[in-house]
Amino acid sequence: MGKGKQKVKKKNIQPNKTKDKVPFFWIFGVLVVTLIAYLPAFKNGLTNFDDIVYVSENPYIRQITWQNITTLFSEFYYGGYYPLTLLSFMIDIQIGGMNPFIFHFTNIMLHLANTLLVFIFIRQLFKKIEIPIIAALLFGLHTLHVESVAWVSERKDVLYTFFFLISLITYNLYLSKGKQKYYIWALYLFLMSVLSKTMAVALAPTLLLLDWFQGRKLTDRKVILEKAPFFVIGILFGILTILSQKSIGAIAEESTLPILHRFVFACYGFSIYLLKTIFPFGLSAFYPYPIDSGDTIPIAYWLSLIPVIAILGLIIYFLKKKRDYAFALLFYVLNIVLVLQIIQINDFVMADRFMYVASLGLILIMALLYRDVLKKYPDRSSILRIGVAAYGVVLLFMTSNRTEVWKDSISIWNDIINQYPDEIPKAYYFRGHSRIDNQDYQAAMNDFNKVIELEPKYYLPLAYHSRATTNANLGNIQKALADLESAIRLDPEDSKFYLLRAQIRLNQKDTISAKRDYDKIIELNPEDYSAYYYRAIFFTQTKKYPSALEDYNQVVLLNPDMGEIYYNRAIIKLQLKQREGACEDFRIAEGLGYERAKSMIRNNCLRF
């Protein structure tokens, strides 16, 4: 990476010195209409589609502490490694607490920033101002991007893309100016991108594509050495992704589907992504596999190989004839190929969010087509502009409507169920829990009945447990206990089934059976402080204070940072006439921010 600059095609990497300067209002107008499209999202809430896990119940993002930040960067969370994304949630909470507005505001601002960055990047590559303007407009308004923007948990997409695009822009500056600082910044921004979401590893081959587009020889030693750090980082984070997924059992040792099935469905996803970019029809937050392992692949899915072959043929043709079109198509391929489910089998065949960056390649094709048609038919310019404007208006309304689908948990699961009424048991399961939150117990019961009717392997015991919760809320105690028996029979290792049964039995004054269930919970999870916590409450209610104190001591050993635990232990110590020890615990609880401890200190501890 010395100072000597390699000869390249001037038409590509020389800074644009064209007379058609960008009127500020054009890009400003693009950002304004994009903001208008996403206005409904400002009123959206959090959903139980991952938002609970990543945000509202994530214990590591509540406060900015060195310990929490260290945990974010040193441990996997929920089967992934995206510390910068979680750190951004932590910052949001410090600004606006758990108000959903702040999370949506940040997502939308990042999307607007990405729209501007798309304009800057494409403007670096092409002189014609229509190309970056159209690319930015379609990127900002495209309905396929709603999932990445309106879904709080997918902050991962908008954040990694932010650093991804700046890295591309900075690397392109390195190519044009030859200054080492731009290369270093590009590498640093790449690292920030993969720390936001490991899907950013696609940047490494994308930079090679940019080298090729700018006329550099990919076999040149300098080019290879420049890319080595990017590929090393990409490989390391690829390994991290596999390890993080395995940590929660998301990658089975044996794939659910045979390799032929995976290949065909990868081609299907590749082809449907193309169609949905042209016109975003039938969007869903979940696309199920159409068949189970061992079933015959429907002929319609074999037909998806035709577009794949056609695209590969076009790329080969464009490599010789139209460099810009080849660049755009290869950009799409490089940024989608890693998520086509060829290697890793998820319970969905494709996802809208996977297209947030990859769609830029196809959007660029549209902009290039506009340029070429306008060049060939200059007298039709008015018709072309009206066509682009009409397409933009359609996308604006579709995006605005799609944004409202993410309003809350009920609306998103309703949308999935409407499209796949008998194919996605988890949709009924999570909608049922949303209805429990709204105290609509009968509707929740109907949802859990539907899950049990569909008999999914994973969700069946969970559905019995959830129906037991609903029956308990409705006062149907015997039905609740029967459902828990079914859940335990299907999955005897899940401690939450015993916990609910213990609580029901305790309410029924069956203390002996409740004690057996609490003991079973601790047997299953001896390192889980909550098991000791609930048994301590049980001992407190049954006035077995020495046993309660013993369990609270264990809770403190396993989780020493909860003020409530010290407070509860202090209450037990007061019952056991250990006032000095109780006062010490009350003061620890107060120091940990547990407000109720203050009055207890005033009433009991002034002389200690």
Please state the rounded mean pLDDT for residues 174-183: 93
Is 412 part of a structural domain of the chain? no
Average pLDDT over residues 512-538: 88
Measured CA to CA, the distance from residue 238 to residue 243 in angstroms comes to: 9
390 assigned to some structural domain: yes
By mean pLDDT, which of 119-123, 290-294, 335-339 is the weakest? Answer: 290-294
| Confidence at residue 13, expressed as pLDDT on a 0 to 100 scale | 44
What is the per-residue pLDDT for 84?
Answer: 97
d(CA 131, CA 151): 29
- Report the share of the chain in percent with pLDDT over 70: 93
* Mean pLDDT value across residues 8-29: 59
Give pLDDT, residue 16. 46
Number of domains in the chain: 2
- State the Cα–Cα distance between residues 564 and 127, nearest whole angstrom: 63
Sign of CA dihedral 104, 105, 110, 112: positive
For position 54, what pLDDT does the model report? Answer: 93
Mean pLDDT lowest among 9-13, 192-196, 387-391: 9-13
For residue 106, how far is the Cα from the chain centroid? Answer: 15
What separation in angstroms does the CA of 428 have from each of 294, 296, 420?
Answer: 26, 27, 11
Mean pLDDT for the stretch of residues 324-329 = 96
Q: What is the pLDDT of residue 19?
A: 44
What is the model's pLDDT at position 293? 63
pTM of the model: 0.86
Please tell me which of 236-245, 522-531, 556-565 the model is most confident about, judged by mean pLDDT: 556-565
- Phi, psi at 78, each rounded to 5°: 55, 45
Tokens of 343: 């290697």
Over residues 81-86, mean pLDDT: 94
Domain boundary among 374, 405, 436: 405
The answer, yes or no, to whether residue 541 has pLDDT greater than 90, is no
- pLDDT confidence band for 294 (50 / 70 / 90): low
Across the range 158-183, mean pLDDT stands at 96
Q: Which amino acid is at 22?
A: V
Q: pLDDT confidence of 252, banded at 50, 70, 90?
A: very low
End of a domain among 343, 370, 405? 405
Instruction: Please check the confidence at residue 491 and state whether its pLDDT lies above 90.
Output: yes
Greater pLDDT, 222 or 348: 222
pLDDT at 165: 98
Percent helix, strand, coil in the chain (nearest 5)? 75, 0, 25
Distance CA 450, CA 545 (A): 44
Q: What is the pLDDT of residue 21?
A: 55
- Asked which of 342, 372, 405 is the last residue of a domain, the reply is 405
Range of the domain at 591: 561-608
pLDDT of residue 240: 86
User: What pLDDT score was predicted for residue 598?
Assistant: 87
Cβ within 8 Å of residue 181, ≥6 positions away:
none
Provide the token pair at 169: 């822009």
Per-residue pLDDT tens over the stretch 411-453: 999 999 999 998 899 999 999 999 999 999 999 999 999 999 9
Asked, for residue 47, whether it belongs to a domain, the answer is: yes
Q: How much of the chain exceeds pLDDT 90, in percent?
A: 70
- Mean pLDDT over 386-407 rounds to 96
Q: Is residue 544 part of a domain?
A: no
Assigned domain for 511 exists? no
Q: What is the mean pLDDT of the chain?
A: 90
Tokens 């159409």, located at residue: 290
Instruction: Kindly indicate the confidence band of residue 253, based on its pLDDT and cuts at 50, 70 and 90.
Output: very low
In our burial notation (b when 16+ CB lie closer than 10 A, e otherwise), range 96-114 reads eeeebebbbbbbbebbbbb
516 burial type by CB count under 10 A (0-12 exposed, 13-18 middle, 19+ buried): middle
For residue 458, being part of any structural domain is answered with: no
Check whether 249 has a pLDDT greater than 60: no
291-317 mean pLDDT? 87
Question: For residue 287, what are the β-bridge partners?
Answer: 350
Q: Is the pLDDT of residue 256 over 90?
A: no
Whole-number pLDDT of residue 286:
93
Q: Residue 340 pLDDT more than 60?
A: yes
Task: State yes or no: pLDDT of 506 exceeds 80.
Answer: yes
pLDDT at 345: 54
Which amino acid type is present at position 152? V
Query: Is the pLDDT at 590 greater than 80, yes or no?
Result: yes
Q: What is the pLDDT of residue 394?
A: 97
Residue range 574-580: mean pLDDT, rounded: 91
pLDDT at 369 over 80: yes
**Residue 151 pLDDT greater than 60, yes or no:** yes
Instruction: Report if residue 575 sits inside a domain.
Output: yes
**Higher per-residue confidence, 48 vs 347:** 48
* Structural domain includes residue 146: yes
pLDDT above 80 (res 521): yes
Confidence band of 6 (pLDDT split at 50, 70, 90): very low
Res 4: pLDDT: 42
